Amino acid sequence: MKRTKHKNINGWIVIDKPQGMGSTEVVNITRRLLDANKNGHTGTLDPFATGVLPIAFGEATKLIAYVTDGKKEYEFVLKFGFDTTTDDLEGEPVHTGGKIPTPDEILQILPDFIGRIEQTPPAYSAVKIGGERAYKLAREGKTFDIAKRKVEIYALDFLRQISEDSFQFKVCCSKGTYVRTLGKDIALKLQSFGHLTALRRTKCANFSISDTILLENLKNMVYEEGEQDFLMPSQTVLRDIAALAISAEDAFKLRLGQKLSATACGVLGRQDEVMAAFEKDCLTALVRVEGKAIVPIRVFNL
């Protein structure tokens, strides 16, 4: 059968993901809404979680790693008294008991979780065990071990006490951090059991809540305004990377995979630095200075 031709759409849309919906489902919905040829997300956000979910379209998918590798921020609510099979409110209770800590007791142990720490990902996670997703094995009732991993916690703040047994926190962390596990480990450190009742991603690399669009609002905007009014440029994720202005002739060379002169472009002393090359306002390529040459790393057709 002849493949239906879709639109070549380039850029970013940041969705405020609703609870109960998977990241892949959001990708599929946005692709259909825009009739886009290609899109993808920047890392799975649990169905239980809400918040910042950047979706890359077209040439922006070449920049997904810059978002995936960036810092993440979350706000979460930890309920003490029992833990669950999934470490959140969707699982079944496992252990009950343990004390309900005071705010002062919580504040005393938080420094223990800042810096480079080890985590054991939850059984209900996307970690692969022998080629199978852990959550699939867990649902089948199989037993297995998950290797510990090191993650970075840059900041961890106690925000407020919500009720007698529930407390709200904010964390800034590296990729690969499981906030559900962090909550569970905080409870264990306080000689209790706990699970998350709310999890909201408030920042993902350069994207924050202020950049997000609700799915329902996106549907209305597509029908009423057209996609160009809410698409963020592909280069949005490159705010922290130096820009290199190049000529139309140099842009043509880079797109052919050819090198440029570092001397002629005035960047000879910036060895191994990655830059974003622009012809006027158009992103042409990501480049690296190697010796006396500027080498294209990734070329864009925008």
Rounded CA separation 187/84 (Å): 12
Tell me how crowded residue 22 is: count the other CB atoms within 10 A of its CB. Answer: 14
Please report, for residues 22, 36, 75, 110, 117, the alpha-carbon distance to residue 190 in angstroms, rounded to integers and kept in the order given: 32, 49, 20, 10, 17
Rounded CA separation 48/192 (Å): 23
First to last CA, the chain: 29
Q: Which of 46, 185, 211, 250 is catalytic?
A: 46
Rounded CA separation 296/294 (Å): 7
The dihedral through the CA atoms of 160, 162, 167, 168 has a sign that is negative
Rounded CA separation 184/63 (Å): 33
Question: Is 88 an active-site residue?
Answer: no
Asked whether 124 and 86 are in contact (CB, 8 A), the reply is yes
Question: Which residues belong to the active site?
Answer: 46
